[in-house]
Amino acid sequence: MALSVGGLKKLCLSNVVELKFVRRNKLRIPPTRRMLCTLDSALLNSTLGKEILNFKPPKYSPPYNAASKGLVVVWDIIMQDWRAIPADSCEVVTAITTKPVSTFWNYFNTVLSKMTASQKKAFMDK
């Protein structure tokens, strides 16, 4: 199911969203990528968000209008950096609410914190 730029952005503002999408660079293998992302400023700007998720506010805006290209700029939780993802090729796998924020941290502590580097790579390539 294709999402609108606004719909994906709205979902990411109050959730950590697991997405699967087609990579923009068609030469990448595999051609799809899975991601955990969010735009929840309360989560990202919290002490744990800065220390554990390594959140850094953007230093500058992209040199292009992301929305006009069908892209949403989100914080990639596994890669711990900003990413522009194509909304029209996204499939929402699941959404973990960040209200209350403890819901996400419970998920983080039981699932994500236990993942090895190779398990994270396998997750992203799945």
**pLDDT tens digits, one per residue of 2-11:** 689 999 999 9
| Stated pTM of the model | 0.91
Rounded to whole angstroms, the Cα distance separating 43 from 41 reads 5
Residues 47/25, Cβ–Cβ less than 8 Å: no
Residue 2: the pLDDT is: 67
**pLDDT tens digits, one per residue of 60-101:** 888 899 999 999 999 999 999 999 999 988 999 999 999 999
Cβ-based neighbours of 38, under 8 Å, separated by 6 or more: 12, 15, 16, 17, 44, 74, 75, 77, 98
**pLDDT tens digits, one per residue of 19-68:** 999 887 777 788 889 999 999 999 999 999 999 999 999 988 888 999 99
Rounded to whole angstroms, the Cα distance separating 39 from 33 reads 19
